[in-house]
Chain A
Amino acid sequence: MTVKEYNNAVDLYSDGIYRFAVKHLKNKMLADDVVQETFAKVWQKHENIEGAKVKSYLFTTAYTSILDVIKKENRSGDMENVDQQEMGSSHTPNFDIQGHLDDALNTLPEVQKSAVLLRDYEGYSYEEIADILELNASQVKVYIFRARKSLKAYLKRIDILV
């Protein structure tokens, strides 16, 4: 990947990586750190990365970084506070279904959450998601199906879907 391709990747994918990180971490500062770290890692290896595969590589790197942050923050017990301080979603009533879906998303296991985010936000196929999350396509399919059921059950539980 050339410097130009790398800089294009920044323009094209940094928003997506940032969104992916924000949705996982519920903290814009932590998400910013993940984006910086992700692109720094990709830059270190940019000469060995094909331009066509940079998006997948970026999301894989971001996903790993996100999991690291989650583990670290869970250990320090900061994630719960972050949840409330940064995003305000826990106590702010959501009157639109997307807001409730965001809350529902946070109840999913990380792997299902990632699969759904990559599917819905980035439009990845099962194979591409499998590549990013280091699973196989069948697993991804199962995770997404389970996630859909969980999301629907959550919305039903809070009477959004009557």
Chain B
Amino acid sequence: MSKIWIVDDDQSIRWVLDRALQKVNLYARFFERAEDLLSALATDKPDVLMTDIRMGGMSGLELLKKSQNKVS
């Protein structure tokens, strides 16, 4: 099963995405902060990464740059 990682600082968005994915039998791993996802990358790697852009703390764009360094 493919691994989907999603980061969004908004609880209701995470909830909606979770329900919507479950409807098509996909189970994603959710993060509240970009920093949390980044540290999880140390031990595991997703197939798909979805991120909000404007977040408190690290932004989504920054996360993409930093995660590319980590996975490649």
Do A and B actually bind?
no
Chain B interface (Cβ within 8 Å of chain A)?
none
